[in-house]
Structure 1
């Protein structure tokens, strides 16, 4: 299993977030290297949290906040309240409706993204599970595949954008076909969560995180 990066105690993390962090970029990060292949994206099923990484992020109408990248197998990892300011988690939670606009009492929003392990089922595939509560109007995930090489990780596909929704839960499955040239490599999916505020229209990008790798003979 992956280990938690940046081992930040809950109380220390809360103090740091309460002090305020620099706003995150308003557009998703993409593959660092140009890729010519594209991944297909469809609505999917919930991710196996025990074999996934997760990150939480939020927006209070002024500042953005984010958790460390967490191991989904850690029981504490699932709850954003363990990693984000309590006031943000509480007020965002006031608007936990699944389809209609957030309740008037909701201020800001909190989202979580889970990125699953790459598996081979005729094609390479990996799932993402994104949840949001509070004052958001839409949410979606941008993701791409990478493969190992002698010089490090290389982009295998261009960025794919999952379906956008105003619902609380948004599950997507990303796929790419194997290359007929063969070759055995490690493969992984990297994903960036996106959410738009229903209060001021700002599109907020959460941190990019990497799912667990799978090693297969699937080419480049």
Structure 2
């Protein structure tokens, strides 16, 4: 439990270091038996860039736990409803990445416009990025269930005028996917919609090299950079 708490704390700081979250907005969670570890707001809140393991608290899927002076995120239902509905999900990231926000507001589709540059990002785009159209604070289970319907079983969902929800089997996978999506959004804003997609014949030459390479190795590098 202590190791996973440290991982969730590191995830918050990695996302902040890469500009995917800023200030006090955004949160990361990881599934545990009987509930989840989630980034909460503490009595000495300094924002996600300064998250500590103490800020990662254990709650059940109704948000109950030994919180002390900490409070759960207003949008905890994003995490709890995803974890209720999708047993394959082990971690959830909710963030407000600026490039993804702009793409959503402009209605720019996130397409597989590059390949070997970032294979996981290309594969996410090729599978389609669903959009939840309501720019609301998802603080009720009913709204989170609406988001899940829009998500349609995909690992990610763009929340128009709001941010993004990203899932993974592990915290590492959810974080790497979030960074890949924001990179794709930044490229999309630069090149526009006229760039052709990677042809299907080329996409088959870009295999999934496995979670050990794409997620865990990249995760270790991201965490190492925090201390550099």
TM-score for both structures, normalised by structure 2: 0.27
Which structure would you say has the larger RCO, counting Cα contacts within 8 Å and 6 or more residues apart?
A: 1
Higher strand share: 1
TM-score for both structures, normalised by structure 1: 0.28
Higher helix share: 2
